[in-house]
Amino acid sequence: MKIIKLSAIDSTNNYLKNLSKEKLVKDGCIVVARQQKKGRGQMNNTWQSQEGKSLTFSMFKRFDCLKIEEQSAITFAVSLGVQLALKKMNIPAVRVKWPNDIMSYNKKIAGILIESNLQKDRIVASVIGIGVNVNETEFTNLPHASSIKLENGNAFDLEEVLHCIAEAVLFQLQRIEKKEVDLLKNEYETVLFKKNNVSVFQKKTGNPFNGIIRGVSKSGELLLENEDEQLEKFELKEIKMLL
């Protein structure tokens, strides 16, 4: 595995995206930073991390023949890889909160930001950013955040966590090229947070309502059973799950 180690950077995703514009970056190349000064999260949010305690890294992955409509396969593979790696490290009750928040019980312990490079109707490469709360013990103004140390009880070596997660993610990503996308989707569905349980959701407007997560569509939309027992599909921007 080729790993570029940085002491500080704005965002490992930005760094890797710029690097890939300037020169040929090897498939599977990883950039890890001890400190991220402007970490980015999903939907233009920021990602907070603590120097030397959090793991912040990005991986570059090329795809030979991946159609845009298959892009959710990347989300399935990466989320599943992170989930399996953390489970292997004895973190309890690790689940994927749709689409790609990694939870232990009902606290978020890791986040994923995938940014893809498109050419015509294909995805040619993605920068896959992963932030893991490893040895933090306090989170200011983040009541739903936790770390793997808090959930497991032991401190972890950042480098070991990096290797464990990166290997698991790369393995799952390779399954996309082996045409195992349907299997990936099925396995992703088995680790979905609150699957088959009644949970509370909110659309862009309107009151909170009860629903049951039943799975995801091929293109990654959430399949939610409503109170009339009808299955509805939602895209990320359309709905949020209230904890």
Cα separation, 184 vs 105, in Å, equals 22
In three-state secondary structure terms, 227 is coil
The residue with its CB nearest to ligand BTN is: 111
Examine residue 40 and tell whether it contacts ligand BTN (CB under 6 A): yes
Examine residue 41 and tell whether it contacts ligand BTN (CB under 6 A): yes
- Binding segment toward ligand BTN, per CB under 6 A, in 38-46, 91-99, 177-185, 222-230: 38-46
Binding flags for ligand BTN, 42-81, as an x/- string (CB under 6 A): x--x-x--------xxx-----------------------
For strand 30-36 and strand 3-9, is the pairing parallel, antiparallel, or unpaired? parallel
How near is the Cβ of 204 to ligand BTN at its closest, in Å? 19
How many residues line the site for ligand BTN (CB under 6 A)?
A: 19
Instruction: Write the single-letter amino acid at 77.
Output: A
| 179-180-183 Cα angle (round to 5) | 155
How near is the Cβ of 79 to ligand BTN at its closest, in Å? 11
Whole-number Cα distances in Å, 151 to 13, 93, 98: 27, 9, 21
Kind and range of the H or E run holding 6: strand 3-9
For ligand BTN, the binding residue among 85, 86, 109, 112 (CB under 6 A) is 112
Contacts (CB under 6 A) with ligand BTN, residues 123-142: 129-131
- Please name every residue paired with 240 in a beta bridge, in sequence order, or none if there are none: 202
Instruction: Tell whether omega for the bond before 99 is within 30 degrees of 0, i.e. cis.
Output: yes
For ligand BTN, the binding residue among 84, 96, 113, 165 (CB under 6 A) is 113
- Inter-residue contact 208 to 202 (CB < 8 Å): yes
Examine residue 20 and tell whether it contacts ligand BTN (CB under 6 A): no
Examine residue 103 and tell whether it contacts ligand BTN (CB under 6 A): no
Smaller CB separation from ligand BTN, 116 or 225 = 116
How near is the Cβ of 121 to ligand BTN at its closest, in Å? 26
Cα separation, 143 vs 135, in Å, equals 17
Q: DSSP string spanning 94-134?
A: EEEETTTEEEETTEEEEEEEEEEEEETTEEEEEEEEEEEE-
Q: Which residues contact ligand BTN (rule: CB under 6 A)?
A: 11-13, 39-42, 45, 47, 56-58, 101, 111-113, 129-131
